[in-house]
Amino acid sequence: MNMKVNIAGVEWKNPVTVASGTFGSGEEFSEFVDLNRLGAVTTKGVANVPWSGNPTPRVAEVYGGMMNAVGLQNPGIDVFCRRDIPFLRKYDTKIIVNVCGRSTEDYCEVVERLAEEDVDMLEINISCPNVKEGGIAFGQNPKAAEDITKAVKKYARQPVIMKLSPNVTSIAEMAKAVEAGGADAVSLINTITGMKIDINRKTFVLANRTGGVSGPAVHPIAVRMVYEAANAVRVPIIGMGGISTAEDAIEMILAGASAVSVGTANFHNPAVTLEIIDGIERYMEQQGFDSVEAMTGIVK
Amino acid sequence: MTRKREDAEILSQERIAKDIYSMWIRTEAAETAQPGQFISMYTNDGSKLLPRPISICETDREAGSLRVVYRVTGKNTGTEIFSQMKAGDTIPVIGPLGNGFPYERAEGKRVFLMGGGIGVPPVLELAKRMKCDRKQIVVGYRDEETFLRDEFEQNGEVYISTEDGSVGTKGNVMDAIRENALEADIIYACGPTPMLRAIKKYAEENGIECYISLEERMACGIGACLACVCQSKEKDEHSNVHNKRICKDGPVFLSTEVEI
Ligand SMILES: Cc1cc2nc3c(=O)[nH]c(=O)nc-3n(C[C@H](O)[C@H](O)[C@H](O)COP(=O)(O)OP(=O)(O)OC[C@H]3O[C@@H](n4cnc5c(N)ncnc54)[C@H](O)[C@@H]3O)c2cc1C
Ligand SMILES: Cc1cc2nc3c(=O)[nH]c(=O)nc-3n(C[C@H](O)[C@H](O)[C@H](O)COP(=O)(O)O)c2cc1C
Ligand code: FES
């Protein structure tokens, strides 16, 4: 039996990575998780310059999930390259760098800078709902999504994963647009825009008013979207949204994902990724699948 | 890879005031826990995913156990679930987390140990460990439910304030200091932000070294998600912006390091 997956030419030892923004650059979680066991580590979004992010409160718990409006706080690409890449390179895992920006030029600057660096894949976040200027502006319009994919691809040396927003009418159309722009893979879903009101204080719970909903509550929506995207494009899909058990991950794979990311569940149990990897392996053994690929998208 | 979320055994659970509970748990965290550090406590209810950060109130290293004192904040909350658990049950926890109070700096000095509301519990372990010239414990409550008071009295001079004036000084901990004409060379404080803001101002106006323990909503509790930041005076080395993580760089900060 073989847990390896090949995502756009990059071989991961298993199909499990962590969702951007929930795992930092791995250092804090490395006390709880042997990073060598992960298929890949996907890092927190990084921009060309440092971003301070949103005011607090930045997170809230909701039934079966959470909301966040961290606002892409990040130390900027210089510190990231100097500190975080060397840290992750000590481990036998793939490095996926998530990139954010406010303009096409911002994204391209980061991607160009990373071309020189020893990282394996780039994930371009065009779907952050928590930052006005950036991200989502590209993620809700197929033409804009295609254009930014093309622009980024010009500078990229590593395979490019375009990260899609669920806050759209047709996820299939968005997936096709980034595929047409040259994306090597797509990942989805980013968080779904939500709102929570404190009825005692009679105001918004999050300082940003709205925030992105994630966690088990969004899982069925994510499975549906992965299914639709997988049936619309040929490039591999990295599925995420509410995965907290091996069963959730397997569902996503059967719907069409070639690999999966675990996000919010890391907050409930920092070692959950290891349980998910072991659980997928057990399922494959029991069900007689000899590769992850053989399971991908078989539910039609 | 050296740490994990563990299932800690509940050794005892007791209601010590209205909505205030005291729980002793057996946990590996007891071995190294410092006053001012906290543990993340989790429910087993899948609809409530995020950790509840709760301060360490007391430790018993030999028994490998520690005590938390917490407020049930409302109906259908995580803390309500905690309050219904019994001795023998297990509760998932991670800890100890964050940085505690540097209590060795109090040696030979006159000290204020200040706690307000649900910021009172961590003051107990701090008072027990601290060696100093004059240990003035100044704690503020809402009303006559002055939980942990007896234990404080065994560990220092105790001054109490209550919002309704039923015990001690009517008002807050700053009013208690004024009424009793107390003085200190170093301050340690934990409580609601308005109280900490007043203490920080007082300390800075009087040139007193002051450590405050801050509170913010958390998601990871270990420094990875950037949910729990506060503003720092100088650019922070880790974040490369003027933000520090309360869970990892705090919760205890030197008052002059942060803007609150
Ligand atoms: C470092 C630190 C130490 C603390 N120590 C104590 C203590 O010793 N005793 C005590 O009673 N309380 C303490 N608190 C406050 C305690 O964390 C909250 O009261 C508790 O999380 C509320 O959870 P709930 O299940 O009652 O409420 P819910 O409404 O069910 O909580 C929903 C979410 O909001 C979060 N949340 C709600 N209020 C707060 C708050 N004030 N601070 C941070 N997160 C919050 C919860 O953690 C949870 O994720 C501490 C907070 C921090 C940051
Ligand atoms: C606290 C937090 C921070 C996040 N930060 C980012 C980010 O920087 N870049 C990004 O592309 N997605 C970010 N996300 C979205 C996640 O990567 C993921 O797409 C989403 O949370 C759904 O997965 P989950 O339900 O498993 O968490 C963040 C999510 C959370 C909860
Ligand atoms: S709660 Fe995640 S960084 Fe503090």
Per-residue pLDDT of A14-36, as tens digits, reads 999 999 999 999 999 999 999 99
In a domain, A158, yes or no: yes
Q: Is the pLDDT of residue A139 over 70?
A: yes
Domain B6-97 has CATH 3.40.50.300: no
In a domain, A200, yes or no: no
pLDDT band at A134 (very low <50, low <70, confident <90, very high): low
A297 DSSP 8-state letter: T
CATH number, domain of A76, equals 3.20.20.70
**For the purposes of burial, counting CB atoms within 10 Å of the CB of B112, is it exposed (0-12), middle (13-18) or buried (19 or more)?**
buried
pLDDT band at B1 (very low <50, low <70, confident <90, very high): low
Q: Is the pLDDT of residue A199 over 70?
A: yes
Domain B103-215 has CATH 3.30.565.10: no
Residue A243 C-alpha to ligand 1 middle, in angstroms?
Answer: 25
Q: Strand order of the sheet with strand B52-55?
A: B52-55, B38-41, B90-97, B6-17, B20-26, B65-71, B58-60
Rounded mean pLDDT, B110-133: 96
> Crossing angle for the helix pair A142-155 and A171-180, nearest 10 degrees?
30
Cβ-based interface (< 8 Å): residues of A facing B = 21-24, 28-34, 44, 50-53, 56-61, 63-66, 68, 70, 73, 75-76, 79, 215-216, 244, 264-271
In a domain, A85, yes or no: yes
Distance separating alpha carbons of residues A292 and A284, to the nearest angstrom: 8
| Strand duo A121-125 + A160-163: pairing | parallel
pLDDT of residue A137: 72
Q: Strand order of the sheet with strand B243-245?
A: B243-245, B229-232, B258-259
Q: Is the pLDDT of residue A76 over 80?
A: yes
Question: Does B95 reach chain A within 8 Å, measured CB to CB?
Answer: no
Token pair 């009087």: residue: B206
The partner residues of B242 in beta bridges, in order of sequence, read none
Rounded mean pLDDT, B161-187: 96
| CB A183 within 8 Å of CB A148 | no
Per-residue pLDDT of A165-193, as tens digits, reads 999 999 999 999 999 999 999 999 999 99
pLDDT of residue A133: 55
Per-residue pLDDT of A245-288, as tens digits, reads 999 999 999 999 999 999 999 999 999 999 999 999 999 999 99
Provide the number of structural domains found in chain A.
Answer: 1
**∠ at Cα A93 (A92, A95), nearest 5°?**
130
Q: Which residue in the set B222, B229, B241 is minimally distant from A56, CB to CB?
A: B229
pLDDT of residue A128: 66
Largest pairwise CA distance in chain A:
55
In a domain, A183, yes or no: yes
Per-residue pLDDT of B31-64, as tens digits, reads 999 999 999 999 998 899 999 999 999 999 999 9
Distance from the Cα of A55 to chain B's closest Cα (Å) equals 9
Average pLDDT of chain A to the nearest whole number = 96
Rounded mean pLDDT, A221-239: 98
Rounded mean pLDDT, A90-96: 98
Look at A121-135, B13-27, B61-75 and tell me which has the smallest mean pLDDT.
Answer: A121-135
| CB B246 within 8 Å of CB B232 | no
CB contact under 8 A, B242 and A68: no
Ligand 1 and B38: CB distance under 6 A: yes
Range of the domain at A222: 5-56+70-192+212-295
In a domain, A207, yes or no: no
The partner residues of B210 in beta bridges, in order of sequence, read B187
In a domain, A203, yes or no: no
Among the residues of B34-97, which ranges form H helices?
78-83
Strand, helix or coil at B63? coil
pTM, rounded to two decimals: 0.96
Strand, helix or coil at A227? helix
Domain regions of chain B by residue span: 6-97, 103-215
Q: Is the pLDDT of residue B84 over 60?
A: yes
Rounded mean pLDDT, A87-94: 98
A81 DSSP 8-state letter: I
Which CA distances in Å does B20 have to A87, B3, B17, B47, B190?
44, 30, 5, 24, 17
> What residues does ligand 3 touch, defined as CB less than 6 Å away?
B 218-221, 223-228, 245, 247
Q: Whose alpha carbon is nearest atom 4 of ligand 1? A: B54
Ligand 1 and A78: CB distance under 6 A: no
Nearest-CA neighbor of B65 among B56, B76, B74?
Answer: B56
Rg (CA), chain B: 18
pLDDT of residue A129: 61
pLDDT band at A138 (very low <50, low <70, confident <90, very high): confident
To the nearest whole percent, how much of chain A has pLDDT over 90?
A: 94
pLDDT of residue A127: 81
Question: Number of CB pairs < 8 Å for A and B?
Answer: 118
